[in-house]
Structure 1
Amino acid sequence: MREYLLTLCVTAVVTYLLTGPVRKFAITIGAMPEIRARDVHREPTPRLGGIAMFGGLCAGLLVAAHLPNVGKVFELSNEPRALLSGAALIWLLGVLDDKWGVDALVKLGGQMIAAGVMVMQGLTILWIPVPGVGSVALTSMQGTLLTVALVVITINAVNFVDGLDGLASGMVCIAAAAFFMYAYRMWFGYGLEAAAPATLFAAILMGMCLGFLPHNMHPARIFMGDSGSMLIGLVLAAGAISITGQVDPDALKLFAGSERAAVHETVPVYIPLLLPLSVLMVPVVDLVLAIVRRTWKGQSPFVADRGHLHHRLLEIGHSHSRAVLIMYFWSALIAFGAVGYSVNGASVWIVLAIVALSAVGLVLLLMPRFTPRAPRWAESFIPPRYRRGGRPAVAAPDLPVVGVTAAATPSENGDGRDDRTRVPAGATAIGGRSRTW
């Protein structure tokens, strides 16, 4: 566990330290697209955050390769190299799209090529565990098609959900944490070495997201762009492919008593036979709804709109930050609920806890004007908007402005809505304060 934590911390620190210089580089080269109709931010914000995340990925793999225990993954498996090759291709495609823009069909082709490169190097689904039947072996063509489909679906699910500050990185971090818990249990609980690469991928993915998240929280100073969203989507898919199609239920039957019992023991993760669909359910549902919605309107599935789940949360009255937290909540509930059920599916308490937390989530959805406040002892560790005193006032400049009527200037308060500073009629702004004559 200590080596995985070290890898996670190194990845997070490198990503965090690189994000600042990457932001300046993005501004210098003009990677700041204009505000679009579907965007929720108000000022042009630099992209290319995926450059820092890719640097963190490389640093994490480099450190892990030199650790005594985790380093054995590189000796016994070619999956880390396959991941790095596919990640480099998808990252380069994302960088080109963030700077100059790439056609949707070209991006789809690039995603399939990146997935094909990983398949050629051994990162592929070999069999599918079917409850009640056992492991069903796949042909080379079937495994390739299924692997490419899983990679493309996961990449686009993460890309579609990247619409609010901190949303994609936080949700993927939650999914990666669930992956890590399950893969770590398979690796050290059952002694299955085939689960070691997935455990490493999950730890590195958590570090990439945690290192980038402080720069991306609302109001974001930099966006990850397609170079980041497609990258973390591919890493997430690689972990899912490794844990789903590489771990043999025949090895599990030594612990579960039979192959069918072993497959049954992993049912919560293998239904619907694709791991990301259980721990990344919220963005996948958003992806499916977006395709159905756009196709129903006679549009291309790749045409962007403002009908995503996070846009709907904003429309019903939730603030930017609260919409992100609600999406975090549902993602964590589904992801950790699936992992908890996989540990002890016969426990009634797990089901009751999931039902109770679902009720809490529904209450939060119905209270868009509720502003959560943290206890005073935790105020020094949280953003100002969640402190009891609210966001601290910004000191106004002392330069007097005489004879100019102050216009209403927009600013964003703790609720994410427009709050305008208005000066009464006949008043003049002096020293940043209003005075009525």
Structure 2
Amino acid sequence: MNISWVVAIIVCFASILVLRPIAVNWGLVDTPDNRKRHVGNIPLTGGVAIYISTITSVSLFVDLSQHINLLLVSISIMVFIGSIDDKYDLSAKLRLIAQTLIALILVFGTGIKIDSLGNLFGLGEVTTGPFSEVITVLAIIAGINAFNMTDGIDGLAGTLSLISLLAIGLVVLDGSIKLIVGVMSSALLVFLSFNLGLFSKKYKIFMGDAGSMMLGLTVSWLLIVISQSEEMSIKPVNVLWFIAVPLVDMIAVMYRRVRRGQSPLVADREHLHHVFMDMGFTPKQALLIISFISLLFGLTGYLSSTYNIPEYISLISFVLIFIVYNIVLTNRHKLKFNK
């Protein structure tokens, strides 16, 4: 095991234990309501613990370039905003403004942006031209909110983030990014052990918006880096498979909200995990099924890249997945597996 992973595990474990009583004293806890059906007040410290362990390991074991420094700064700001949101429940507009500013820091600070969408239609490369910065910022915001919206049942946001990070780790060429992926994945494993109550339900924690938005930012940015930078590791369309579950779920749910005349950012019980629970599955069963689906999608992206599958086939397949998901969502109340 890499020493940086060991440090991340130890620091994350210690941070969770130290932060727990502090969170309770500060009121940084998640309280049950009509939409949140857990039992008791749960500390929202998981994201901060993952952040502390990641920052510690990266600072010790990575050669800090301008790119890495800007990524760490952006992650730090995201965790700060997320923690304030966890405590005071910021408006969607304020969160969106903060996410936009963070995305702008990364795009203009590093110069990395989505210049190419690849040969999507088999007719040649599709470029973004003068809209590259805008598209990149929107992609980062989409990634942040996609993972944030998956944080609805125990283990889901953490597991989906872990799968995405592991998929990135399989294809990335840059050693520094490989190490960041490794230490964040190690910290996530520690968080999941507490979040799923593997030690004791007494020590249960949530990652909070600080964690889900930080992970969404990190994953979406790394996907842009591996598909757009000089050391391109994977074709742009194939990275969609690495975040297929959060992305498809977010787009479908937001589409349905807009059709109903609601804000696309309003909270509801329309997400994929709710769909499975409406079908009669327990939260743990829903977690296992969704995680397995995400693994299959990640494997699809990896194999599509490895065997150089035409990009238009990958795009058509992804669109078909979206259509099927919308059909299932529309007919969710007709589908019952456990009576």
TM-score, with normalisation over the residues of structure 1?
0.66
1:17 to 1, 14, 19: 14
CA contact (8 A) 1:50 1:224 kept: yes
1:153 to 132, 142, 150: 142
Structure 2 counterpart of 1:270: 236
CA contact (8 A) 1:201 1:239 kept: no
CA apart distance, 1:174: 0.7
Structure 2 counterpart of 1:288: 251
CA apart distance, 1:236: 0.8
Instruction: Say which one has the larger Rg.
Output: 1
Q: 1:178 to 1:31 in 2, by over 3 A?
A: same
Deviates more, 1:40-49 or 1:103-112: 40-49
1:47 to 44, 47, 54: 44
Structure 2 counterpart of 1:38: 35
Structure 2 counterpart of 1:239: 222
Higher helix proportion (structure 1 or 2): 2
Q: Runs of 5+ in structure 2 lacking a partner? A: 315-320, 322-327
Identity of aligned residues (%): 27
Structure 1: distance between partners of 2:114 and 2:152:
35
Structure 1 counterpart of 2:188: 209
Large movers: runs of 4+ above 4 Å: 132-139, 365-370
User: Are 2:75 and 1:87 aligned?
Assistant: yes
Structure 2: distance between partners of 1:33 and 1:179:
31
User: Are 2:159 and 1:170 aligned?
Assistant: yes
What is the count of residue pairs matched by the alignment? 313
Q: 1:170 to 1:122 in 2, by over 3 A?
A: same
Deviations 1:378-417 (A, max 9, x none): xxxxxxxxxxxxxxxxxxxxxxxxxxxxxxxxxxxxxxxx
Deviations 1:341-396 (A, max 9, x none): 322247xxxx9xxxxxx9xxx9xx999559xxxxxxxxxxxxxxxxxxxxxxxxxx
TM-score, with normalisation over the residues of structure 2?
0.83
2:303 to 340, 345, 355: 340
CA contact (8 A) 2:50 2:184 kept: no
Q: 1:232 to 1:179 in 2, by over 3 A?
A: same
CA apart distance, 1:158: 0.3
Identify which of structures 1 and 2 has the higher relative contact order when contacts are C-alpha pairs closer than 8 Å and 6+ apart.
2
CA contact (8 A) 2:46 2:206 kept: yes
CA apart distance, 1:143: 3.1
Deviations 1:70-129 (A, max 9, x none): x3xx3xx42111111111111110010111111111001000111111123215216315
Q: Residue 295 of structure 1 aligns to which amino acid in structure 2?
A: V
Structure 2: distance between partners of 1:36 and 1:161:
18
CA apart distance, 1:154: 0.6
Q: Runs of 5+ in structure 1 lacking a partner? A: 66-70, 188-194, 253-265, 352-357, 371-437
